[in-house]
Amino acid sequence: MLQLIGISLIQIQKEQWLHTGLSILDKKGADQLKISSLCTQLQVTKGAFYHWFKSKKDFDFALLAYWQNAFTEQFISASESGKNAKQKLTLLVRKCIEGLGKESRLEIEIHMWAKQNKEVGQFVSSVYQKRFDYLMELLDDIYTSPLEAKRHGLLLYCLLIGCDLFFRKISEQEAELLFQEYL
């Protein structure tokens, strides 16, 4: 099998399907996440889709795993380079601020998809729980009071969600102002 810098050509091609899927989900929503839309965007036949995925449901859950890796696992991994919980939290908040700077509705669309599909909802809830658990792990190391750690965890999580739902895009400077206590 052809290898490019340790990654097989097959993985790169599969990743193109998933990247395109996230793009469609971000811009048009889950109801537009169709095999035909993916094939049109990638300029391939439906047979090419079935080379990589057994079914649309198989694709959907591969896409959700791809989203989880990109927007949860990689965020956690990047923050783990901090030397202590405070540094890790700062790195995590910085990564979230970077994400706010991008024109994206992806998290909103994922959440709406989760509300419409029970199986997707279960997967997404597990990702949300993992995010919150990691945040609480950091805050439990920072604050001596468990109640204070939980208060900050709830505030931070709700604040980040609120930034996605704000009536206009939050600038990087505004995001830094909002999160300054955690930077």
Tell me the domain boundaries of the chain: 55-182
pLDDT of residue 102: 80
> What CATH number was assigned to the domain covering residues 55-182?
1.10.357
pLDDT attached to residue 19: 95
The three-class DSSP label of residue 4 is strand
pLDDT in tens, 36-87: 999 999 888 888 899 899 999 999 999 999 999 999 999 999 999 999 999 9
What pLDDT score was predicted for residue 68? 97
State which amino acid sits at residue 183: L
Q: What is the mean pLDDT of residues 169-181?
A: 91
Q: Say whether pLDDT at 9 is over 70.
A: no
Neighbours of 66 (CB within 10 A): 17
Whether the model pTM is above 0.85: yes
Intra-chain end-to-end CA distance of the chain, in Å: 45
State residue 10's pLDDT score: 52
Question: At 100, phi and psi to the nearest 5?
Answer: -65, -30
Of the ranges 28-32, 97-101, 164-168, which is most confident? 28-32
**Residue 108 pLDDT greater than 90, yes or no:** yes
**CB 129: neighbour CB atoms within 10 A?**
10
Q: Are strands 3-4 and 7-8 parallel, antiparallel or unpaired?
A: antiparallel
pLDDT of 12 higher than 80:
no
Identify the pLDDT of residue 88.
Answer: 98
Q: Token digits for 2?
A: 């052809």
Largest CA distance in the chain: 58
